[in-house]
Amino acid sequence: MNRRHELVRENTARSVVLPVAPTRGRLRPLGLDEVRITGGFWARRRHINATATLDHCRDWMERVGWIGNFRAAVEGRIHRDRRGREFADSDVYKLLEAMAWEAGHDAGTSLDAEIGALTDAIAPAQEPDGYLNTAFGRPGQQPRYSDLEWGHELYCYGHLIQAGVAQTRARGEGELAKIARRAADHVCATFGRGGIEGVCGHPQIETALVELARLTGEQRYLDQAALFVDRRGHRTLADTEFGRAYYQDDVTVRQAPVLRGHAVRALYLAAGAVDVAVETGDDALLAAVVRQWEATVARRTYLTGGMGSHHRDESFGDDFALPPDRAYAETCAGVASVMLSWRLLLATGEPRFADLAERTLFNVVAASPSEDGRAFFYANTLHRRRRGTVPPAEAESPRAESGLRAPWFAVSCCPTNVARTLAQLPAYLATADDHGVQVHQYADAEIATSLAGGHGVALRVRTDYPSGGNVTVRIGRSPDRPWTVSLRVPAWTASATAWLVDPDGIRRAVAPGTAEVTRLFRPGDEIRLELPVAPRWIGADPRIDAVRGTVAVQRGPLVYCAESVDLPGAHETDAIRVDPSTEPADGPDGTGVTVVVAGELAAHAGLRDDAVWPYEPLGPPVASSADGRTGIVLVPYHSWANRGPSTMRVWLPTTEPDQPAERSRPTEPDSTAPGT
């Protein structure tokens, strides 16, 4: 038995329900059978995901014909009847992946039947050599692999393979896994050495093939993934109006200094490169991706964690080109960013990767779905100037950009990506190593695993996070030897003190990074982490020209925004100017944050849509409190547009344009904030 098989067996002995299962790396992930989220912010969202979003996605894909495409392929009418974009198959697979992880939490679930029904629709469409795609290759369609630039065939396989891996890990190998395996074999036979020397215009197959290698112990899937990573950047894809950087085929992964081009593609590719680097022990490749992550986080990331500022090609902009009102920040890019950071965290153990994952989860991934889990943001702007119009309830929304969440889109990659992320979310909370357990994300949770030597440990996490900053970790089970509980101290705590209280009641200040307690724990022992979540102003690097003279508010990990529904009168958010000399404060009812406006709120009232020149002398303030200091309430960004059409902004203009950046930079050395 080779090393790979041994490692597969090792992982299997501990947990099988692992979304990402590297065989090497600093930290060992925990499976969905080892971590349960039991309450709070994420439990609510996960419940809605399981009880509403999964059905919603399936119903829409039946309605718009994306599931029917498989039937049409089998019945020989696909050239006439195919619906959706060339990558529509992938959303059926992403839904299947989400269902599989969800089924992994709940043994008695009816999801097995749902997975079975969808699999039955897909299976007959697979051709004898493993090829499976409803957009190509049949009479009346373009030939297979005739459009690697835009065709998404390998991208679709990637999602199929991920679904097959999820099903096997969550429920044991079933028909879906067999379909996925046949497709992967077909890919290796067709694109392996001596085959087509190409890559897919949309990376995604790389992570999937590595995960299949991890699952099966088959080296050839890893080799194929490594081949795809190394082939990219050699200009095998045709040039486009966006340049080859659009699909990362301009420069090799090893040479690229920063993530560029289409954001989702760039992030999926980087995640796949990390997977390959970890499995092959390629430290140079890992270091290259770490450098790209650093440059991207420092210069190409929104305060929310969102990535991508070009609508035209859904891509990253130049360094510091982060206009809030043109933020694309696609939900899928948020998902992909979390995937990348998670892999880097496992590989290196460095908490900065969990910091960015937290920022992105709370302010991009959580912002996308509506409260009922049946509508979604695709793009996540940081500034909405016009109130949105209500998207069609019965038809696909044509555009990604919207002021209100839409039930479905003509390109509907985001809803199923949110679904599969929330379904696997518990696995992102904690890890283990030979010495103990590391908690990276805070939620009410139960964690049970075994350390080296098979010593069982169990912890219970209780917290009001993110509205409060108290986290209590109670030991439930502990071996008769010392071990370590590590807690991430978020980078955003840098401007105030965080405290750790050990089981003896000794309280010490802890710096951003990791706080550890090592001892012979007894069941019932408690560790407390006190994180300072008071609201604070955030300034931006002045090179982000688009937000000069503005400030934002963050409270704990949550970015806040002003929404017109919270403003007095009929004012729009563009009328706001705030006074940064007064700190933001918690609102009286505990839901929002209050900031003081600079008295001009009403001076800008009645902005005219028919104005021909966008500048005018300021009128006098016409409405303010007696002392001229009106307070307005800000709400968490993730919750905006849940109360109907509104205007919204995260970055708030001030009276003193240069002050905020000067004020905040020395006190906010947040490793995941732009410009640090």
Q: Binding residues for ligand FUB, per CB under 6 A?
A: 87, 202, 264, 314, 330, 332, 411, 413
In the bound state with Zn ion, the residue whose beta carbon lies nearer, of 332 and 471, is: 332
> Which residue's CB comes closest to ligand FUB?
264
Q: How far is the CB of 394 from ligand FUB (least distance, A)?
A: 22
In the bound state with ligand FUB, the residue whose beta carbon lies nearer, of 122 and 336, is: 336
CA distance linking residue 504 with residue 171, whole number of Å: 43
CA distance linking residue 434 with residue 457, whole number of Å: 12
Q: How far is the CB of 526 from Zn ion (least distance, A)?
A: 41
Provide the 10 A C-beta neighbour count for residue 312: 8
Q: Which residue has the tokens 């560029």?
A: 260
Three-point CA angle 537, 258, 205, nearest 5°: 110
For the stretch 496-502, contacts whose Cβ atoms lie closer than 8 Å and that sit 24 or more positions apart, written own/partner, are 496/532, 496/534, 496/536, 497/532, 498/469, 498/529, 498/530, 498/531, 498/532, 499/528, 499/529, 499/530, 500/527, 500/528, 500/529, 500/530, 501/527, 501/528, 501/529, 501/530, 502/527
293 binds, among Zn ion, ligand FUB, none (CB under 5 to 8 A by kind): none
Q: Which residue has the tokens 């065989």?
A: 23
CA distances to 170, 171, 565, 595 from 112, rounded to whole Å, are 10, 8, 43, 50
Q: How far is the CB of 369 from ligand FUB (least distance, A)?
A: 17
- DSSP E strands in 479-557: the ranges are 483-489, 498-501, 507-510, 513-519, 526-530, 536-538, 550-555
In the bound state with ligand FUB, the residue whose beta carbon lies nearer, of 84 and 636, is: 84
87 binds, among ligand FUB, Zn ion, none (CB under 5 to 8 A by kind): ligand FUB
Residue 298 has which token pair? 């420092």
Q: What are the backbone dihedrals phi and psi of residue 58, each rounded to the nearest 5 degrees, phi first?
A: -65, -45
Specify the DSSP element, H or E, that contains 54: helix 54-63
202 binds, among ligand FUB, Zn ion, none (CB under 5 to 8 A by kind): ligand FUB
Of the candidates 84, 96, 104, 109, which has an alpha carbon nearest to the alpha carbon of residue 54? 96
In the bound state with ligand FUB, the residue whose beta carbon lies nearer, of 95 and 487, is: 95
382 binds, among ligand FUB, Zn ion, none (CB under 5 to 8 A by kind): none
In the bound state with ligand FUB, the residue whose beta carbon lies nearer, of 180 and 335, is: 335
Q: How far is the CB of 272 from Zn ion (least distance, A)?
A: 18
Q: How far is the CB of 87 from ligand FUB (least distance, A)?
A: 5
Q: How far is the CB of 206 from ligand FUB (least distance, A)?
A: 14
In the bound state with ligand FUB, the residue whose beta carbon lies nearer, of 177 and 336, is: 336
In the bound state with ligand FUB, the residue whose beta carbon lies nearer, of 159 and 555, is: 159
Q: How far is the CB of 661 from ligand FUB (least distance, A)?
A: 32
Q: How far is the CB of 362 from ligand FUB (least distance, A)?
A: 21
CA distance linking residue 131 with residue 162, whole number of Å: 16
Checking DSSP bridges between strand 558-563 and strand 648-649, what pairing results, if any?
antiparallel
In the bound state with Zn ion, the residue whose beta carbon lies nearer, of 226 and 406, is: 406
In the bound state with ligand FUB, the residue whose beta carbon lies nearer, of 335 and 551, is: 335
CA distances to 237, 271, 277, 279, 568 from 343, rounded to whole Å, are 27, 7, 11, 12, 46
Angular region, 71: left φ>0, alpha ψ -120 to 50, beta rest: alpha
CA distance linking residue 491 with residue 358, whole number of Å: 10
Contacts of 454 (CB under 8 A, 6+ apart): none
61 binds, among ligand FUB, Zn ion, none (CB under 5 to 8 A by kind): none
Q: How far is the CB of 148 from ligand FUB (least distance, A)?
A: 13
Q: How far is the CB of 398 from ligand FUB (least distance, A)?
A: 13
Q: How far is the CB of 414 from Zn ion (least distance, A)?
A: 4
CB 516 within 8 A of CB 509: no
Q: How far is the CB of 370 from Zn ion (least distance, A)?
A: 16
In the bound state with Zn ion, the residue whose beta carbon lies nearer, of 100 and 329, is: 329
In the bound state with Zn ion, the residue whose beta carbon lies nearer, of 412 and 554, is: 412
CA distance linking residue 270 with residue 273, whole number of Å: 5
67 binds, among ligand FUB, Zn ion, none (CB under 5 to 8 A by kind): none
CA distance linking residue 112 with residue 99, whole number of Å: 8
Q: What is the dihedral of CA 560, 564, 569, 570, to 10 degrees?
A: 160
In the bound state with ligand FUB, the residue whose beta carbon lies nearer, of 269 and 551, is: 269
Provide the 10 A C-beta neighbour count for residue 332: 27
Q: How far is the CB of 379 from ligand FUB (least distance, A)?
A: 10
328 binds, among ligand FUB, Zn ion, none (CB under 5 to 8 A by kind): none
Checking DSSP bridges between strand 483-489 and strand 436-439, what pairing results, if any?
parallel
In the bound state with Zn ion, the residue whose beta carbon lies nearer, of 249 and 330, is: 330
314 binds, among ligand FUB, Zn ion, none (CB under 5 to 8 A by kind): ligand FUB
Contacts of 405 (CB under 8 A, 6+ apart): 368, 369, 370, 375, 376, 377, 391, 641
CB 405 within 8 A of CB 425: no
Q: How far is the CB of 415 from ligand FUB (least distance, A)?
A: 12
411 binds, among Zn ion, ligand FUB, none (CB under 5 to 8 A by kind): ligand FUB
Cα distance between the two ends of the chain: 47
Q: How far is the CB of 101 from Zn ion (least distance, A)?
A: 18
35 binds, among ligand FUB, Zn ion, none (CB under 5 to 8 A by kind): none
In the bound state with ligand FUB, the residue whose beta carbon lies nearer, of 160 and 443, is: 160
Q: Which residue has the tokens 């696609």?
A: 330
- Which residues of the shown chain bind Zn ion in the complex (CB under 5 A)? 330, 332, 413-414
In the bound state with ligand FUB, the residue whose beta carbon lies nearer, of 268 and 353, is: 268
Q: Which residues of 161-191 are buried (b: 16+ CB within 10 A; e: fewer)?
A: bbbbbbbbbbbeebebbbbbbbbbbbbbebb
